[in-house]
Amino acid sequence: MQITFLGTSSGVPTRSRNVSSWALRLPQRAEIWLFDCGEGTQHQFLRSEFKASQIRRIFITHMHGDHIFGLMGLLASCGLAGNPQQQVDIYGPPKLNEYLQACRRYSQTHFSFPIKVHTVQPGLVYEDAEFSVHCNLLEHRVPAYGYRVAEKDRPGRFDVKRATALGIPSGPLYGKLKRGEVITLPDGRRINGSDLCGPPLIGRKVAYCTDTIYCESAIELARGANVVIHESTFAHQDADLAYQRLHSTSTMAAQVALTAQAKRLILTHFSPRYAPGNSIRLEDLLSEAQAIFPATLLAYDFFTYDVPRKQSAELVTH
């Protein structure tokens, strides 16, 4: 699982930061899941190694412009570059489908591929054989949903040499044993697949806490996550503004990660007020968060993070 940030500014873009969007590349799949789609996201795609044709799912947190104004442009461009585009499933709050339909109607835009919009509610949003996605309602000025992507546990490594030594013929039986099933051999022996597999590979978990004040819902999303991506619009000194606008400070995000016993926190969605040369800089927000939760990083546009199965095995790509 690999995370790439395509926009890390809040409200408006800056010269170095676009507005909210990040992409999740799934292991052993040629597909991308996109989370939020602020204005200019398709331009960020052009500057990245991704292809729009790889997008399979888009998860929108809420209806504020810095999280959705790039969605219509991205969808309109998909499929026009000569690459075949499969169906794109879009998940988001009520009114998202109405918004897209209005954009299509008034701009007379026709998509060259199927799109399906799913209105989310707290709970399970999507599930397949390898992943599940849940959402939870956060506390913001409009209905805003955070998401939790969970990779399902997988059986440990199958011991082929031991299976061969037991006289088990290769083929379909190996598949059953790899899944931990019990098989019966022609000679009557019963073999438990779990006895031939190493320790299970525990699935990784990524939580995304979008625009919100500190709340229990964010903690539940982040519970035990390998990575928590949390908005950090304000510094601790500007907590009054955070409460007024229902956004988080760096210290609130750190408290969420600490209480949830997460392994890694990545801050994003920064106010442009903390630009270089100002009295408070982003490095100060990082220091504030690290004082509470040391395993904190600051996101920046095109920052890529490989989600480790174990903290010691992590890889950060700059």
Give the separation between CA 60 and CA 65, rounded to whole angstroms: 11
Residues carrying an active site annotation: 66
pLDDT at residue number 315: 43
DSSP states of 144-176 as a string? -EEEEEEEPPB---B-HHHHHHTTPPSSHHHHH
Dihedrals φ, ψ of 140, to 5°?
-140, -175
Identify the residue whose tokens are 């992507």.
149
Dihedrals φ, ψ of 89, to 5°?
-100, 130
| Cα atoms in the Cβ-side hemisphere of radius 13 Å centred on 315 | 7
**CATH of span 2-154+201-317:** 3.60.15.10
Q: Does residue 314 surpass a pLDDT of 50?
A: no
The closest of 39, 71, 38 to 52, measured between CA atoms, is: 71
pLDDT band at 201 (very low <50, low <70, confident <90, very high): confident
Determine the straight-line distance between the first and last CA of the chain, rounded to whole angstroms. Answer: 16
Report the interhelical angle of 250-259 vs 282-292 (nearest 10°): 30
Residue 161, exposed/middle/buried by CB under 10 A (0-12, 13-18, 19+)? exposed
Beta strands in the chain (DSSP E): 2-7, 21-25, 32-35, 55-59, 88-92, 115-119, 123-127, 131-137, 145-151, 182-184, 190-192, 205-209, 227-231, 265-268, 296-298, 304-306, 315-317
pLDDT 10s digits, 210-261: 999 999 999 999 999 999 999 999 999 999 999 999 999 999 999 999 999 9
Give the separation between CA 98 and CA 41, rounded to whole angstroms: 21
247 CB-near residues (< 8 Å, 6+ apart): 10, 140, 211, 212, 213, 231, 233, 234, 241, 269
pLDDT 10s digits, 43-97: 999 999 988 889 999 999 999 999 999 999 999 888 676 556 788 999 999 999 9
Give the separation between CA 34 and CA 97, rounded to whole angstroms: 17
Q: Does residue 173 surpass a pLDDT of 90?
A: no
Contact 107, 77 (CB under 8 A): no
Do the strands 123-127 and 131-137 form a parallel or antiparallel pair, or are they unpaired? antiparallel
Instruction: For residue 24, give the amino acid letter.
Output: L
82 CB-near residues (< 8 Å, 6+ apart): none
Residue 255 or residue 186, greater confidence:
255
Do the strands 296-298 and 265-268 form a parallel or antiparallel pair, or are they unpaired? parallel
pLDDT at residue number 224: 96
Q: Does residue 137 surpass a pLDDT of 70?
A: yes
Domain boundaries along the sequence of the chain: 2-154+201-317, 160-196
pLDDT band at 312 (very low <50, low <70, confident <90, very high): very low
Is the pTM value of this prediction over 0.75? yes
